[in-house]
Amino acid sequence: MADSDKVIGKSIKRIDAFGKVTGQTLYPGDRNQENELWLKILFARRPHARVLDIDTSEAKALPGVMDVLTAEDVPINQYGLQIPDQPVLCGPRSNKKGGDIVRFVGDQVAVVIAENEEIAAKARDLIKVEYGDLPVVSDPEFALSGRAPELHPNVFNNVAEYKQIRKGDPDATWDTCNVIIEGVYQTPLQEHAYLQPEAGTAYVDDEGRITVHCAGQWTWEDQQQIAHALDLPPEKIRVIYDAIGGAFGGREDISVQIALALAVLRTYQRYGNRRPMKIIWTREESMIGHCKRHPMIIYCKWGAKSDGTLLAAETKIISDAGAYMYTSNKVLANAAITCTGPYEIPNVTIDAYVIYTNNVPNGAFRGFGSPQSHFAAEMQMNKLAEKLGKDPVDLRLKNILDGDKLLAVGTTIPGGVSLDTVIRKVAWKSNWTYPGKRGENNPDYPEDLPRFVKGRAFAAGFKNIGFSLGFQENSWAQVELLGKVEIEEAVLRIAGADVGQGHHTVMAQIAAEALDVDLDKITLKVSDTAFTQSSGSASASRLTMLAGNAVKEAAEFALRKWRREDRPAIAEATWLAPKTTPLDPKTGYGVPNFAYGYVAQMAEVTVDTEMGFITVDRVVCADDVGKAINPDQIVGQIEGAIAQAHGYTILEDFRVEKGQVLTPYFNTYLIPGVYDIPKRVESIIIEDPHPDGPYGARGMAEMPYLPYSAVIASAVFDAIGIWYDDFPLTPERVLRGLGKVRSRW
């Protein structure tokens, strides 16, 4: 293939596009099998209670019901992505005094197996459960206070995880600061709202394996958790991902997978029945049954010189884990690392807590704790610029991290730092000019505001790529080359989940580039534990970099065999990322990540001061992607992240009261439509190659999300002169700030 035909750096049409737009592609809910049975799950629907008794007799007697499974039917009744702290099913187990405790409304109590979905739903409603209600702990600060009941055994003050970082001596520095900025920031819950709710099918395959078709983010991890709960060897479980209608972190954790596999196991053991199983959650079940973005309370105190040089920062983070751990510990670490923003601050104290409550569990969500931290950090930075009367761009450039400056954890950033570049590119593209301190030319501001008023603001951000924190990131791939004289087909086997981000297309491009063949010669076999090993999770902006390296290496190894006429040529590779370290428990010192991504944004808004509506007129966003494997897909990631962050910032108001979800439908929980999102998004792709990335690529899918809430809130301040330290910036909240309405909440 001539150089002009190379596929890296070209906007190749997505390989899954035709099937999806024509409806040929199967999502988990689309898969229908002959003679299948349907499942329905009984949710606890109460936030904190002990299961005293459960009566399934009436449900089992309903014609068309095959069985009803309860806690007694689960071989090992526990699971969890980080720690196994959640029951598969909560029930009055004979070997457990008093029965299991349900800790949130979405805890699962029973599984109905029936001839069709309608019968299964009717039988579920016939199950009678006796509960002993327990005190509901829904406020994380109260949960931490020492006055609340402990929600998990041996978890003192409900602290699921604690991180502390100590750098320099802030206490000895405050007196030397010319200006101190303090704030308390509150970030909300957010629902993932992916296209298809949780769904799946399961059956026994020809080799006797319990096979689960579902949508997730890590087939290997799903297999391990199912095998653990069923007390079976992992090789007896097979997990296959059908098309995945979005994930954003919400599919990292188990939802329907164990229930499906358990139903197959028990019906085969009891009745010799190999009929396949199917389940599709309703949107309401999805809204109460899977995790959300962590709400956080972030206390900040920053000090600086009069010239804007940052000197000290003190931060306290209280993150609500909800009922179970999920990925709360990892999210907390990311929040702690990024809560001082992309700036060098020589003296730092950070105390970060994640707290168990009886709210819906909170877990992975695009940005993984960094959007919450960046809201606080970038608001602090813009408030500092306002207080000092300095250009927010100049202030950032004065303090920005580079390859030689130390993070709050006391080490430098590996892999190159392009924060200076992304900031300058956005400032240039947006024709940024500093208008001076707000209100300098309007002494009566904001009392005499017109109906429509405009504002603009700036923000920046950075985030890790991969989980790391001592875990050595890795990814596996295999390439098989077929043909006699020339390569006729290259079979690429990978486990990485394509959750809508175009991962499989990019992997095919990398394979074609490494093999020097046309893209149409690449055949993908993906996300099936029967023939793929672990590529790791489709999260943390990691797959392009990690899986891309594995694909590139496997392709290069296979090509060497081919050239030696070892045909068919098969090679596999597991790419190991550079090692990292956990944070020191006392100082927070460490090398937590091997790679980072960088972003800067400018936003222009119009605020309707009579109605409270915010219109985002323009967003300019620059992201360093290392190398653009597929530029159009990167633009799609930027625009998609901004649209999702826009919902988080402006519209989405997920309400929970005493553990009960008040917004379990899309008519009460509003996500942005085409007329809600920013009118104009200008994407800037920066390519500063990462030394460890495939062709220099680094992950970027989360980066555009990070500074958005802060840049919009700061632009609103620029427009109306009011700082909003919490969001979403609904019309009510905007008008409340203007003194035109009273709060109903």
Rounded Cα distance, 467 and 197, in Å: 26
Instruction: Give 5's pLDDT tier (boundaries 50, 70, 90).
Output: low
* Helix extents (H) in 167-326: 219-230, 257-271, 283-289
First to last CA, the chain: 64
The predicted pLDDT at position 95 comes to 55
DSSP 695: G
Assess contact for 368 and 539: CB atoms under 8 A: yes
Residue of 375, 408, 229 whose CA lies nearest to 727: 375
Angle of helix 392-399 relative to helix 370-388, nearest 10 degrees? 110
DSSP 199: E
Rounded Cα distance, 185 and 261, in Å: 43
- Identify the helix (H) or strand (E) that includes residue 479: strand 474-482
Task: Specify the CATH number of the domain 296-468+585-737.
Answer: 3.30.365.10
Rounded Cα distance, 332 and 315, in Å: 13
Residue 96 has pLDDT above 70, yes or no: no
| Higher per-residue pLDDT: 439 or 334 | 334
The CATH topology of domain 3-25+474-576 is: Aldehyde Oxidoreductase; domain 4 (3.30.365)
Strands 179-187 and 660-661: unpaired
Give the start-to-end residue ranges of the domains of the chain: 3-25+474-576, 31-134+198-280, 296-468+585-737
Radius of gyration of the chain (CA): 26
pLDDT digit string (tens) for 56-73?
Answer: 999 999 999 999 999 999
Residue 2 has pLDDT above 50, yes or no: no
* Helix extents (H) in 700-743: 708-720, 731-737
Q: Which CATH number fits domain 31-134+198-280: 3.20.20.80, 3.40.50.150, 3.90.1170.50, 3.30.230.10?
A: 3.90.1170.50
Residue 441 has pLDDT above 50, yes or no: no
DSSP 547-573: HHHHHHHHHHHHHHHHHTT-SSEEEEE
Q: How far is CA 436 from the centre of its chain?
A: 37
Residue 744 has pLDDT above 50, yes or no: no
The predicted pLDDT at position 446 comes to 59
Angle at the Cα of 252 from the Cα atoms of 8 and 208, rounded to 5 degrees: 95
How much is the average pLDDT of 451-464?
A: 97
Instruction: Give 247's pLDDT tier (boundaries 50, 70, 90).
Output: very high
Take residue 79 and report the two structure tokens written for it. Answer: 């699971």
Residue 324 has pLDDT above 90, yes or no: yes
pLDDT digit string (tens) for 193-217?
Answer: 999 999 999 999 999 999 999 999 9
Average pLDDT, the chain: 95
Q: Going along 553-595, which residue ranges are E strands?
A: 569-576
pLDDT digit string (tens) for 34-53?
Answer: 999 999 999 999 999 999 99
* Residues whose CB falls within 8 Å of the CB of residue 444, separated by 6 or more in sequence, listed in order: none
Residue of 350, 367, 416 whose CA lies nearest to 587: 350
Q: Does the fold of domain 296-468+585-737 match that of domain 3-25+474-576? A: yes
Take residue 540 and report the two structure tokens written for it. Answer: 């943390």
The predicted pLDDT at position 740 comes to 79
Model-level pTM? 0.96
User: What string of H, E and C letters represents the secondary structure of 635-676?
Assistant: HHHHHHHHHHHHHHHHHCCCCEECCEECCCCCCCCCCCCCCC
* Residues whose CB falls within 8 Å of the CB of residue 724, separated by 6 or more in sequence, listed in order: 713, 716, 717, 733, 734, 737
Residues of the chain with pLDDT > 70, as a percent, come to 97
Rounded Cα distance, 547 and 554, in Å: 10
How much is the average pLDDT of 630-634?
A: 97
pLDDT digit string (tens) for 399-432?
Answer: 999 999 999 999 999 999 999 999 999 999 999 9
Take residue 369 and report the two structure tokens written for it. Answer: 């704790």
DSSP 704: G
Instruction: Give 1's pLDDT tier (boundaries 50, 70, 90).
Output: very low
Which range (136-145, 303-312, 437-446) has the least confidence?
437-446
